Structure 1
């Protein structure tokens, strides 16, 4: 089977979007990234009639059937987004900051309910929001590249 290149940016986007109850697969023969909902996978598993679903969802259920019945290992299960933890990444980012006051303020901001909102407000206030987004994107890319190498998936940057 000839392997094609998968878009690194598309895989990174899948993680950044991080929609709950979705599962992502890579068609290693075409490089296509396929995202399915839990409902679509369940419909395929339960062999529910396609007529029970809206037209727009039928194609994904068909894809889910193909993925579930995949004996040629044409589809790779891209579950990396389930291993991604933005809170841990925020903690890592804060630990890289040398400014004690900034470090302390951000560590305080990420405690309790509303932590992500307070963190974002603080990084904007400190003018380090671009630094955070670059850090985050680079870390996600590293994770995706590592996953692709482990699963023998070739990618393009």
Structure 2
């Protein structure tokens, strides 16, 4: 039977700083492996590994296993998460009508993410936003784990 996976570990892996990176969960061990775009290029390419730093050479076998083994599942990616919808849900839930209108307005048009961040900073509600975002990511992680029959704690 698979080991229970830490929800927090899954959430942390889903919040990668780079959209070109992908994390994979080993369904047997609960291990999470993050594969960078550079790792993937090295694995797929015809690269002389002598030119690759030692630390990266050591990580490549695990990255290759994550990409090629059916025991690893790709965690939800930014495209699957829809952070804009989470931001809109947060704005809709604000009790102060003026704040709600300001935040919803910030979400319209190009530059919405930057304006959203600026608006919540100006309104002093960043901690509320991050708490809401963390709970939304946790909900997404739980749904994903349950859909894949992976036990969690």
How many equivalent pairs are there? 153
Q: 1:80–1:147: 8 Å Cα contact kept in structure 2?
A: no
Task: Give the Å deviation of 1:110.
Answer: 2.6
Structure 2 gaps of 5+ residues are none
> Cα RMSD between the aligned structures?
2.1
Q: 2:22–2:77: 8 Å Cα contact kept in structure 1?
A: no
Q: Deviations over 1:38-61 (max 9, x none)?
A: 231232234644323211211222
Residue 106 of structure 1 pairs with residue 103 of structure 2: yes
Q: 2:14–2:75: 8 Å Cα contact kept in structure 1?
A: no
Task: Give the Å deviation of 1:65.
Answer: 2.5
Given candidates 130, 134, 150, the residue that maps to 2:131 is 134
Task: Give the Å deviation of 1:113.
Answer: 4.3
Task: Give the Å deviation of 1:146.
Answer: 0.3
TM-score (norm. length: structure 2)? 0.85
Change (3 A) 1:53 1:82: farther
TM-score (norm. length: structure 1)? 0.83
Between the aligned partners of 2:60 and 2:143, the Cα distance in structure 1 is 30
Match of 1:149 in 2: 146
Match of 1:75 in 2: 72
Match of 2:58 in 1: 59
Change (3 A) 1:26 1:48: same
Q: 2:86–2:133: 8 Å Cα contact kept in structure 1?
A: yes
